[in-house]
Amino acid sequence: MRSRESLIPKPYHAAVERWRETFLPDFQFLMDNWDKHFPKEPHFKLCAYRELGMCNEVECGEDQGKPKATKPSELSDEQAQHLLGAIKAQASTEFGSIQQHRLTLARAQSEQDQMWVLRMMAEELRHGYQMLHLLTEGDWSDRSQQSSADMVEEILSMQTGSHLLSAFNIDFDSFVDNIVFCGLIDRVGKYQLTLQKVSAYQPMAESMPKMLREEAFHLAAGVVPMRRWVTEAARGEVYVTIDMLQKVINKWIQRGLEMFGDERGGGSNVRMGLKPMKNAEAQEQYRRECDKLVQDLNTRFVRARLPNLSPKEAAEVMTKVLDEDGTVQGITPQDLLRLPHRDFFRRRGVPAFTMVGFRGEAYDDVEAYALHLRRYLPESYLASKDFKDYFATLRQVASGALDAVAASRQMPALRRVAGTCPCSKSVRWVRDEPMTAEVVAPA
């Protein structure tokens, strides 16, 4: 595969480096120790990669077969607005996840886990950079009220609490969050990137392949430690219990489902050739993949506990325990993980603010639902601002003071309590410097 490497104009590049010094202070440590931990991987580089030789005809929707747009002026107004929104949202998630991961990065129990997460954070920075490249390379001036500098500034100024999607406004409480987030939320990223790989906007499509290759590593950074933890739990270790892992999965997975957008939507993206699949279909595929992950973890638990069983026998024991909700060969239902019902603890989309329990049971009393959530979510998360805001809104919906549609509109914009972040108001990331962009030789 051939790709072209580019840098964004100097003042923006410098702004990203300044941002990195604040939110990714361990970056230099990663660079200094890269060869020790990733000897076979090429050194990390902060730049945008564009894959060469990709399909140049629109792959789905009304204009299928026509040439793809190569610059903003070739897009329809509707396409341009959708794309700008998607690029900003994507950029917000990339930078946002670094802000979350850094809170608990130092709490890893294993050096390898920590280095993997650190590498993943550097790659998220590159993904954010790749999105800034899309915003600053093309001329969006007659498509957006904002200048390029303001778009870059807006994205770099977001904090946990002001990002565009809920999953990126939730604080991490322990290193288990770092890992489960990689396994579940980066998996949504993988879906979004795969969908955008067919984009009718060629620069978007060409940005995806390298990001997808990096995303595969992010999933591994989540799945490998989870596999180790369930195996250790089966042997009686107390570090990360199944109960803890289950609760952290419950904290994140529904936010992952909601990242696909409302279950009724996505049609216009398909029509405009920007994505090949509607929201509900992509969300369902994602959920099935998460289910496979959970079943894989369960099978590993059973095999570690009962090493004499064949993989097939272990899978049978797992299925029996889950289906019959009873103990089989000493494996109890509490030993195994389950995915919550798709409508459990939702705040966006069709089931938003319906009170549905972990197994799909309906609640009509908000206080009983509070007790239920208390049993299924991590205690540290119950003490968070995010949960408090959600539950206060749920109370309003349950009492009839607010309808569910208005309530879910309120949800992604959970601003931080004013003034908690000393750098949010005073720093301007983009400074006035001459605008020069460099194109590096193709890799």
Q: Which residues bind Fe ion (CB under 5 A)?
A: 94, 124, 127, 186, 189, 215, 218
Alpha-carbon gap, residue 204 to 137, rounded angstroms: 12
Nearest CB to Fe ion, comparing residues 130 and 246 = 130
Tell me how far, at minimum, the Cβ of 415 lies from Fe ion, in Å. 24
Tell me how far, at minimum, the Cβ of 349 lies from Fe ion, in Å. 22
384: left (phi over 0), alpha (psi -120 to 50) or beta: beta
Phi, psi values for residue 201, rounded to 5°: -95, 105
Q: DSSP 3-state assignment of 49? A: strand
Tell me how far, at minimum, the Cβ of 219 lies from Fe ion, in Å. 8
Tell me how far, at minimum, the Cβ of 72 lies from Fe ion, in Å. 23
Tell me how far, at minimum, the Cβ of 91 lies from Fe ion, in Å. 10
Residue type, 225: P
What does the chain come to in residues?
443
Number of alpha helices (DSSP H) and beta strands (DSSP E) in the chain: 16, 3
Angle (CA) 366-369-374 rounded to 5° is: 130
Helices 111-137 and 10-23: crossing angle in degrees, nearest 10, is 150
Nearest CB to Fe ion, comparing residues 184 and 317 = 184
Nearest CB to Fe ion, comparing residues 215 and 258 = 215
Alpha-carbon gap, residue 273 to 275, rounded angstroms: 6
Q: Would you give the distance in Å from CA 118 to the centre of its chain?
A: 16
Nearest CB to Fe ion, comparing residues 218 and 346 = 218
The residues near 99 (Cβ < 8 Å, ≥ 6 apart) are: 23, 159, 160, 168
Tell me how far, at minimum, the Cβ of 235 lies from Fe ion, in Å. 30
Alpha-carbon gap, residue 105 to 336, rounded angstroms: 27
251 and 183 Cβ atoms separated by less than 8 Å: no
DSSP 96-150: HHHHHHHHHGGG-SSHHHHHHHHHHHHHHHHHHHHHHHHHHHS--TTT-SS-HHH
Tell me how far, at minimum, the Cβ of 166 lies from Fe ion, in Å. 17
Nearest CB to Fe ion, comparing residues 222 and 273 = 222
